[in-house]
Chain A
Amino acid sequence: MAKNVITDEVIEYVGILAKLELSDEEKERAKADMAGMLDYIDMLGELDTSQVEPMSHVFPVSNVFREDVVENGDNREAMLANAPEREEGCYKVPRTFE
Chain B
Amino acid sequence: MSKQYETVIGLEVHVELATKTKIFCSCSTEFGGEPNTHTCPVCTGMPGSLPVLNKQVVEYAAAVGLATGCQITQYCKFDRKNYFYPDNPQNYQISQLYLPICRNGGVEIETENGKKIVGIHEIHMEEDAGKLIHNEWDDTSLVDFNRSGVPLIEIVSEPDMRSAEEVIAYLEKLRLIIQYLGASDCKLQEGSMRADVNLSVREAGQEAFGTRTEMKNLNSFRAIARAIEGEKNRQIDILESGGKVVQETRRWDDNKECSYAMRSKEDAQDYRYFPEPDLVPVVISDQWLEEIRKKQPEFRDEKRARYKEEYGIPDYDIDIITSEKRLADIFEETIALGCKPKEVSNWLMVETMRLLKEKETDASDIRFSPAHLAALIGLVEQGKINRTVAKGVFEVMFTEDMDPVSYVEEKGLSMVQDEGTLRSTIEEIVKNNPQSVEDYKGGKKKALGFLVGQTMKAMKGKADPAMVNQILLEILG
Interface of B is mostly: loop
B280 and A57 within 8 A (CB): yes
Q: A69 near B: Cβ within 8 Å? A: yes
B window 67-93: CB within 8 A of A? 77, 84-86
Of A61, A65, A90, A96, which is within 8 A of B85 by CB?
Answer: A96
A95 and B141 within 8 A (CB): yes
Stretch at the interface among A1-9, A38-46, A80-88: A80-88
Interface string of B6-49 (1 = CB under 8 A from A): 00000000000001110001111000001111111100101000
Question: Which of A80, A91, A96: most chain B Cβ within 10 A?
Answer: A91
Q: How close is A57's CB to chain B, nearest CB, in angstroms?
A: 6
Residues of B within 8 A of A61 (CB): 280
Interface string of A44-80 (1 = CB under 8 A from B): 0000000000001101011111111111101110011
B window 50-104: CB within 8 A of A? 52-56, 58, 77, 84-86
Name the CB-closest residue of B to A80.
B36
B139 and A76 within 8 A (CB): no
Of A59, A67, A79, A93, which is within 8 A of B141 by CB?
Answer: A93
A63 and B143 within 8 A (CB): no
B140 and A92 within 8 A (CB): yes
Q: B262 near A: Cβ within 8 Å? A: yes
Interface string of B267-282 (1 = CB under 8 A from A): 0001000010101111
Of B21, B139, B145, which is within 8 A of A70 by CB?
Answer: B21
Q: How close is B88's CB to chain A, nearest CB, in angstroms?
A: 11
Q: How close is A66's CB to chain B, nearest CB, in angstroms?
A: 5
Q: Given contact pairs A62-B283, A94-B141, enumerate 6 new A-B contacts (beta carbons under 8 Å).
A: A68-B20, A69-B20, A75-B37, A87-B140, A90-B133, A93-B141
Interface of A is mostly: loop
Q: How close is B39's CB to chain A, nearest CB, in angstroms?
A: 5
Q: B445 near A: Cβ within 8 Å? A: no
Residues of A within 8 A of B26 (CB): 66, 69-72
Contacts A/B (CB < 8 Å), 23 sampled: A17-B266, A61-B280, A63-B282, A66-B52, A66-B55, A68-B55, A69-B20, A69-B21, A71-B26, A72-B27, A74-B37, A75-B40, A79-B39, A87-B140, A87-B142, A89-B37, A90-B35, A91-B143, A93-B86, A93-B143, A94-B140, A95-B134, A96-B85
Q: B144 near A: Cβ within 8 Å? A: yes
Task: Give how many A-B residue pairs fall within 8 Å (CB-CB).
Answer: 125
Q: B251 near A: Cβ within 8 Å? A: yes
Residues of A within 8 A of B36 (CB): 76, 79-80, 89-91
B86 and A96 within 8 A (CB): yes
Residues of A within 8 A of B283 (CB): 62-63
Q: B132 near A: Cβ within 8 Å? A: yes
Residues of A within 8 A of B255 (CB): none
A88 and B55 within 8 A (CB): no
Q: How close is A13's CB to chain B, nearest CB, in angstroms?
A: 8
Q: How close is A86's CB to chain B, nearest CB, in angstroms?
A: 9
Residues of A within 8 A of B262 (CB): 98
Known: A69-B20, A69-B21. A94 touches B35 (CB 8 A): no
Q: B135 near A: Cβ within 8 Å? A: yes
Q: How close is B394's CB to chain A, nearest CB, in angstroms?
A: 36
Q: How close is A14's CB to chain B, nearest CB, in angstroms?
A: 9
Known: A19-B84, A56-B77, A98-B263. A68 touches B21 (CB 8 A): yes
B40 and A89 within 8 A (CB): no
B142 and A91 within 8 A (CB): yes
Residues of A within 8 A of B275 (CB): 56-57
Residues of A within 8 A of B141 (CB): 92-96
Residues of A within 8 A of B40 (CB): 72, 75, 79
Of B46, B139, B282, which is within 8 A of A62 by CB?
Answer: B282
B263 and A57 within 8 A (CB): no
Can you list the 6 inter-chain pairs with the closest CB atoms, starting with the nearest?
A56-B275, A90-B142, A71-B26, A65-B55, A68-B56, A89-B35
Residues of B within 8 A of A93 (CB): 86, 140-143
Name the CB-closest residue of A to B35.
A89
Residues of B within 8 A of A80 (CB): 36
B27 and A70 within 8 A (CB): yes
B132 and A64 within 8 A (CB): no
Known: A76-B39, A79-B44, A98-B263. A64 touches B52 (CB 8 A): yes
What separation, in Å, do the CA atoms of A87 and B143 have in the docked complex?
Answer: 9
Name the CB-closest residue of A to B52.
A66
What separation, in Å, do the CA atoms of A19 and B85 have in the docked complex?
Answer: 10
Of B55, B58, B143, which is within 8 A of A90 by CB?
Answer: B143
A75 and B39 within 8 A (CB): yes
Residues of A within 8 A of B21 (CB): 66, 68-71
B window 121-152: CB within 8 A of A? 132-135, 139-145
Residues of B within 8 A of A71 (CB): 21, 26
Name the CB-closest residue of B to A59.
B280
Interface string of B289-306 (1 = CB under 8 A from A): 000000000000000000
